[in-house]
Amino acid sequence: MSTASRLPGIAFTDHVFQVPLDHTAPQGEQIEVYAREVVASGRSEGADLPWLLFLQGGPGGKAGRPLGRDGWLERALDDYRVLLLDQRGTGRSTPATRQTLARRGGAKEQAEYLAHFRADSIVRDAELIRRRLLGDDRRWSVLGQSFGGFCTLTYLSIAPEGLDQAFITGGLAGLRSSADDVYRAAYPRVVRKNEGHYARFPQDVEAVRRIAAHLADAPAVLPDGGRLTVEAFQALGLLLGGGSGSGTLHYLLEEAWVEGTDGPELSDTFLAGAQAQLSFAQGPLYAVLHESIYGQRSVDPAGTGWSAARVRAEFPEFDARAALESGAPVLFTGEMIYPWMFDTDPALRPLKETAELLAARTDWADLYDPARLAANEVPVVAAVYHDDMYVDTADSLATARAVRGLRTWVTNEWEHDGLRVSGGKVLDRLIAMARGEA
């Protein structure tokens, strides 16, 4: 099924595909996967252009909804017909949320269903779609951002015959890094991002301490009924991994207080802004599946087991209450998912037991094939962001060395969101590298 539409500078066609929930049982339950095909206006819709599949970051994030020829699409559409894939469970692809998952039964049934929503299944969906759109013999290129880069490594591991070339931005995962390895490397990077924020906005040290002290005594209620605890407040540090995130956080903090009838209280403006950053209502799979993207039997035989929470205990500087007592700055956390989030966020509460079962799962299949990657023949270029808060640079460079022919561009000009905010410059550089022009 497909329908065509237009927006300024682009023409796009909606596609909906039926794919197996479990690709090892192709005749079993089917789900829908949606993809938006985008081409530059003024070109014949039937023009023989090479295809570029875009794999969004996440997990659990739908593809962007372009309002015109903007962002990295501006550059991509010079050369490609782009396919924006809503990865299974996201956007218009048989969504997986507290509302839809309730129809599948209890937590055990929900967890078994969601076990089919990792990178290996996403790649097999993409291969099925490639064959239906392009035919068995024609390849396409892939652009993977963040988790989409993880998926691209899986693609190169299990179906490289479908790829002409691969572009990766901020998404070279450690091939044999356990979840614990990932978080042990992540917490020190987050400390550095906190230090950078407080150096930029020294007034925020006391502003954050004041808010944290208030929440430690009395958690606030967010507009959606969620609870803003001191730990939830710390989770606003997710912002610090983006190019404009430090400024966004500062502006949120500077409107934190208003004078109420009984004295100072947290403002509706602040609480609504915090909710906008912390709620998983628009992307619950990010929380439910986040640690499973690292789960591999060969490196995590005991499962991921709420790794971010366990490893956090090794970094006492993130203990907000201890910092308040000692007079130290209160540190924000980063891209970590904690069990308490399934108590404080109304969008996640019904999925708490499901998330517990996934955290305890021990039979995750390996996602990468080091031998096949070492023999890779697909041209691969990757942007590695220096001191990326989300993806460890050392892991990225080790993986780059392990993938035959992979070329890297290591840069501190952009943060993790460079593809989105650079106006096409990051993608342009990678395309030039793939052509031998840079």
What is the set of active-site residues?
A: 146, 363, 416
> How is residue 43 annotated by DSSP?
S
Q: Does residue 271 contact residue 223 with C-beta atoms inside 8 Å?
A: yes
Instruction: List Cβ neighbours of 314 (8 Å cut-off, separation of 6 or more).
Output: 184, 187
> In which residue are the tokens 């739908």 written?
62
What region, left, alpha or beta, does residue 207 occupy, with left being phi > 0 and alpha being psi -120 to 50 degrees? Answer: alpha
For 54, 186, 228, 393, 411, the CA distances from 428, given in Å and listed in that order, are 15, 29, 41, 22, 14
**Neighbouring C-beta atoms of residue 133, cutoff 10 Å:** 18
What residue type is 350 in one-letter code? P
Q: Does residue 94 contact residue 33 with C-beta atoms inside 8 Å?
A: yes
In whole angstroms, give the CA distance from residue 135 to residue 36: 18
In whole angstroms, give the CA distance from residue 240 to residue 253: 14
CA angle (156 as vertex; 399, 396 as ends), nearest 5: 15
In whole angstroms, give the CA distance from residue 172 to residue 407: 12
Instruction: List Cβ neighbours of 290 (8 Å cut-off, separation of 6 or more).
Output: 59, 60, 335, 337
Q: Does residue 311 contact residue 183 with C-beta atoms inside 8 Å?
A: yes
What residue type is 276 in one-letter code? A
Three-state SS for 340? coil
HSE value, Cβ hemisphere, 13 Å, CA-based, for 125: 30
What residue type is 172 in one-letter code? L
Most distant CA atoms of the chain, gap in Å: 71
Q: Does residue 253 contact residue 208 with C-beta atoms inside 8 Å?
A: yes
